[in-house]
Amino acid sequence: MAMQVKAGSIDSPTGTGNQAFTGVGFQPKVLLLFFDKSTADGNAVSWMRCMGFGTSSTDRAAHGTSYIDNVAGGTANMGRSVSGTHVLYAYEASSGAITAFLVADIVTLDADGFTLNFTTVQASAYKINYIALGGADLTNYNVSTRQAPAATGSQGYTGEGFQPDCIIAIGTGTTTALPVSTNNAGARNQLSFGISGSAFASAYDGNDSDLTKYTGKGQKADIMLMLNANASPPVVLYEATLTSLDSDGYTWNWTTTSNARFFFVLALKGGQYGLGVFNQNVTPTTGNQAVSGLAFQPVGVTFASFGAASTTSLSAAAQHGVGAANSSTSRFALTLAGAVSANTSVVDHNLDNANVIKSLTAGTPTVNTVADFVSLDATGFTINNTTVDATSREIIYLMFGNTAVAAAALGAYKSLLGVGL
């Protein structure tokens, strides 16, 4: 097969040690993990968003943020964790300390799945979502630990060993040597995607100033966007645009920076990638919504959004959603939300393994929009909006596809066999 993608969910073990997970359907070359402290689908208080990716037992990275609900202003209840030697690094903040909650590393990427070594577990099984990438088209892949420069301007990053076709970046803004877990620090996070000529980033933060609990969000055409929500609205902590994908790495233009902050980049070569944004339908338009315009048929797609209408401005009240799908039955959506509160923290999250896009307002909490995945189409994809409201939310998408040569060959082979495309 050319490029292969699988979106799925696993349950964390309740005992430490190696745990094999199967059912992917192919041998992954790259694994991305997403975690938000849910034992089942539905709403839950607080957030503990963790994202990680890896290609082997020695090439991986992860970070996490934690923000605890219903804690009085002026009391520490948020933190972050970062590691370049794990693929899952979820820590939970509290008023006294930040402690390991769920920690795992890659052992092997197997014929039908992957094996993880869990060094910290809980008495209950928690849901972990994954995106697995594989296939002959995916020829090169690497995880790199990078740092922002001390001054603005162009910065080239080398050492990948190939020219990437796509990069995925995550970061929390930490300046401390890795691995690190920090209590009473901004629960900030960013996820971005970049291909030649295009990049998009979505970000959120949860913070505390005096007696006010702040959260904020932003989404821009950037490769790196980190916020400081220690005020309302939040401000940019650091920001960069993608200049180019180079023969041995990539070049970014830093427009805002402060300190040598760490972030991680997953570089991919091979296959085809489509990156863009669309605006989700609004009331009263439920039902199918097609997104098209690609030059190829995707085999999988991932989504990210700050849960608001398109704008270059930052805004209060955090929202952040991540989703992925490779079919109408293999998909997931994770969403978190926070409010700005003068007294106590108001933060929630939602997990849904039966839909692909969701937005949430903290407090009750309230689910604002829901979309399921319908199909991968000839030049894009179709979602089914089952719940909408008056806000036309901007959704980032990254699509994965076969190389042009492989796609053409596959089409010719199917035509020869008389198989429908």
What are 330-339's pLDDT values in tens digits?
Answer: 999 999 999 9
Cβ atoms 319, 308 nearer than 8 A: yes
Question: Where on the phi/psi map is residue 145: left (φ > 0), alpha (ψ -120 to 50), or beta?
Answer: beta
- Cα separation, 40 vs 33, in Å, equals 17
Residue 390 CB contacts under 8 Å (≥ 6 apart), including other chains:
282, 283
The predicted pLDDT at position 48 comes to 93
Give pTM, 2 decimals.
0.94
Question: Where on the phi/psi map is residue 379: left (φ > 0), alpha (ψ -120 to 50), or beta?
Answer: alpha
Task: List the domain range (segments joined by +) for residue 188.
Answer: 4-417
The predicted pLDDT at position 421 comes to 46
Q: To the nearest whole number, what is the mean pLDDT of the chain? A: 92
Tokens of 288: 């199918």
414 pLDDT band (50/70/90 cuts)?
low
- Cα separation, 192 vs 197, in Å, equals 14
Residue 256 CB neighbours (<10 A): 16
Cβ atoms 290, 298 nearer than 8 A: no
Residue 177 is classified by DSSP as P
Residue 280 is classified by DSSP as P
Tokens of 59: 């090439």
Which amino acid, one-letter code, is at 237?
A: L
- What is the full DSSP assignment across 103-165? EEEEEEEETTEEEEEEEE--SS--EEEEEEEESTT--EEEEEEEE--SSSEEEEEE-SSS--S
- Cα separation, 16 vs 18, in Å, equals 7
Whether pLDDT at 413 is above 80? no
Q: Which of 180-184, 274-278, 364-368 has the lowest mean pLDDT?
A: 180-184
- Cα separation, 343 vs 320, in Å, equals 23
Tokens of 154: 């162009």
Whether pLDDT at 310 is above 60? yes
Tokens of 31: 């694994």
CA distances from 82 to 64, 363, 391, 409 (A): 6, 28, 34, 43
How many folded domains does the chain comprise?
1
Whether pLDDT at 156 is above 80? yes
Instruction: Please name which of 251, 252, 260, 262 lies closest in space to residue 62, comparing C-alpha atoms.
Output: 262
The predicted pLDDT at position 360 comes to 94
Percent of the chain predicted with pLDDT > 90: 74
